[in-house]
């Protein structure tokens, strides 16, 4: 009887699938999808650490801070590490993934994330103003502890909370978050290691606005309010002279008798006749500006054709990641070909004739 109970108890749970078998099944499913003409963007994790940079780690910590997800996240971590996330796409407000499971046909995962509320984005920009030096610094996570705390603050930063996330999977699991959805969410953390600008795309905001806000506030705070006043000590050090204060007599320096001027010697006629004509100046050679990379040239054409676009729209038209667009925008701005107009809700990138 005890054996019968044991069989009945154990039969209520799915068979344990070893890691090697799960990985082999995922590889077979990926090959099948590739043969069908689908171009895959799998999540590849080396070792056990899913995320290694600030943005990826902050995303994973945010997920793990909510009790709603506590029971399903461990299985999702295992699936992500084993290569079960065969395809992962991140766009404005949407994450789509294909995740291999226990069945031969992989499951389709769809995660919708609400746009960042405008009031929260305004508060983040104001709190970070003046603390971020460049877009490269922002996207590589080389930020001060104050900025890191602002952008990753639970419920008030850039990362979504459970009410802002809608989870769906084609698997038969009845739970709100199944292990396939959890694997896709961890896959987002791994992907942010490579392309941190995708977080801003996902939340529907433009990272360059953080810099524009900083520039606006810095310009306002450094505007001159009155003419600077220099004391006599300042003027003395600048011009190398001694200035007498009001009411004090100027000290007269002792006069030195100047020697009589020497008579000018006449130049011999032979020397005058042999004087050389002034040499012609060689024209200064100016280096021609280096040609733009093809993607930078294409980005310039897009901005010229439709001024006022921001980074998410440029990413879609250029079919490139946010970090790639940021790199080429910086190149165009350094060349004087593009500038940003408007630091808040209006404006965007416009082209100048460089």
Confidence tier at 232 by pLDDT (50, 70, 90): very low
Answer with the residue of higher pLDDT: 117 or 271.
117
- Cβ–Cβ < 8 Å for 311, 324: no
Lowest mean pLDDT among 167-176, 228-237, 297-306: 228-237
- Cβ–Cβ < 8 Å for 34, 40: yes
Burial of 204 (0-12, 13-18, 19+ CB in 10 A): middle
What gap in Å lies between CA 283 and CA 189, rounded to an integer? 57
Lowest mean pLDDT among 136-140, 153-157, 262-266, 312-316: 262-266
Please tell me what DSSP assigns to residue 161.
Answer: P
The predicted pLDDT at position 17 comes to: 62
Give one DSSP letter per residue of 231-269, joined into a string: -HHHHHHHHT---PPTTPPPPPPPP-PPPPPPPPPPPPH
> Could you tell me whether strands 338-341 and 85-91 are parallel, antiparallel, or unpaired per DSSP bridges?
unpaired
Instruction: Kindly list the domain boundaries of the chain, sorted by start residue.
Output: 15-205, 291-351
The predicted pLDDT at position 258 comes to: 55
Helical packing angle, 311-318 and 294-305, nearest 10°: 120
The predicted pLDDT at position 218 comes to: 45
Q: pLDDT tens, 319-331?
A: 877 778 778 888 8
Answer with the residue of higher pLDDT: 278 or 109.
109
Answer with the residue of higher pLDDT: 66 or 30.
66
pTM above 0.75, yes or no: no
Taking residues 17-36, report their average pLDDT.
71
Q: pLDDT tens, 101-135?
A: 888 889 999 999 999 999 999 998 888 877 776 67
Q: Which of 304, 302, 321, 342 is nearest to 208 (CA)?
A: 342
Q: Is the pLDDT of residue 237 over 80?
A: no
Confidence tier at 282 by pLDDT (50, 70, 90): low
Sheet containing 107-113: give its strands across: 85-91, 94-99, 107-113, 165-169
The predicted pLDDT at position 279 comes to: 57
Lowest mean pLDDT among 90-104, 150-164, 205-219, 224-238: 224-238
The predicted pLDDT at position 32 comes to: 77
Taking residues 327-351, report their average pLDDT.
74
Query: Hey, what are 99's tokens?
Result: 């995740």
Q: Which own/partner pairs from 12-17 qualify as long-range (CB within 8 Å, at least 24 positions apart)? A: 14/102, 17/102
Q: Three-state SS for 163?
A: helix
Query: Hey, what are 168's tokens?
Result: 């769906």
Taking residues 46-69, report their average pLDDT.
89
The predicted pLDDT at position 27 comes to: 77
The predicted pLDDT at position 231 comes to: 44
The predicted pLDDT at position 119 comes to: 94
Tell the residue number behind the tokens 């890691």, with chain if given. 19
- Cβ–Cβ < 8 Å for 113, 202: yes
What gap in Å lies between CA 354 and CA 352, rounded to an integer? 6
Taking residues 73-77, report their average pLDDT.
91
Q: What percent of the chain has pLDDT over 90?
A: 27
> What sign has the CA pseudo-torsion 198, 199, 204, 208?
negative
Can you name the residues that pair with 107 across neighbouring β-strands?
99
> Could you tell me whether strands 338-341 and 165-169 are parallel, antiparallel, or unpaired per DSSP bridges?
unpaired
What gap in Å lies between CA 101 and CA 85, rounded to an integer? 9
Q: Is the pLDDT of residue 293 over 70?
A: yes
**H helices within the chain, ranges in order?**
2-11, 19-35, 54-64, 73-81, 118-128, 135-139, 145-151, 179-194, 197-203, 208-221, 232-239, 269-273, 294-305, 311-318, 322-334
Confidence tier at 311 by pLDDT (50, 70, 90): confident
Cα dihedral: 173, 177, 183, 186 (round 10)? 180
Q: Which of 185, 182, 189, 183 is nearest to 50 (CA)?
A: 189
Q: Is the pLDDT of residue 22 over 70?
A: no
What's the CATH fold of domain 291-351?
Arc Repressor Mutant, subunit A (1.10.10)
What gap in Å lies between CA 250 and CA 242, rounded to an integer? 9
Computed over every residue of the chain, the mean pLDDT equals 75
């Amino acid at each position: 009887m005890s054996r019968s109970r044991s069989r009945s108890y154990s039969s209520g749970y799915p068979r344990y699938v070893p890691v090697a078998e799960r990985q082999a099944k995922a590889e077979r499913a990926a090959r099948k999808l590739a043969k069908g003409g689908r171009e895959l963007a799998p999540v590849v994790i080396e070792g056990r650490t899913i995320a290694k940079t600030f943005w990826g780690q902050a995303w994973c910590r945010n997920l793990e801070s909510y009790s709603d997800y506590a029971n399903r996240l461990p299985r999702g971590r295992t699936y992500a590490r084993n290569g079960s996330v065969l395809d992962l796409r991140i766009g404005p407000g949407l994450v789509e993934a294909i995740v291999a499971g226990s069945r031969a046909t992989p499951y389709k995962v769809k995660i919708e994330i609400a746009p960042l509320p405008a009031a929260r984005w305004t508060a983040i920009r104001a709190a970070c103003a003046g603390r971020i030096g460049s877009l490269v610094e922002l996207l590589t996570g080389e930020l001060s502890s104050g900025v890191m705390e602002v952008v990753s603050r639970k419920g008030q930063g850039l990362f979504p909370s459970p009410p802002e996330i809608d989870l769906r999977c084609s698997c038969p699991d009845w739970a709100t978050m199944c292990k396939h959805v959890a694997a896709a969410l961890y896959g987002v953390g791994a992907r942010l290691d490579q392309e941190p600008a995708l977080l801003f795309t996902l939340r529907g905001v433009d990272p360059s606005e953080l810099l524009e806000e900083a520039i606006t506030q810095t310009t306002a705070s450094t505007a001159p309010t009155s003419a600077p006043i220099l004391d006599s000590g300042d003027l003395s050090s600048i011009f190398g002279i001694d200035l007498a204060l009001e009411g004090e007599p100027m000290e007269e320096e002792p006069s030195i008798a100047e020697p009589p001027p020497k008579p000018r010697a006449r130049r011999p006629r032979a020397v005058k006749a042999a004087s050389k004509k002034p040499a012609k100046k060689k024209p200064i050679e100016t280096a021609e500006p280096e040609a733009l990379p093809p993607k930078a040239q294409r980005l310039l054409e897009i901005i010229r054709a439709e001024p006022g676009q921001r980074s998410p729209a440029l990413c879609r038209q250029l079919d490139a990641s946010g970090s790639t667009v940021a790199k080429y925008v910086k190149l165009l701005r350094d060349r004087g070909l593009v500038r940003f107009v408007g630091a808040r809700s209006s404006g965007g990138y416009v082209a100048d004739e460089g």
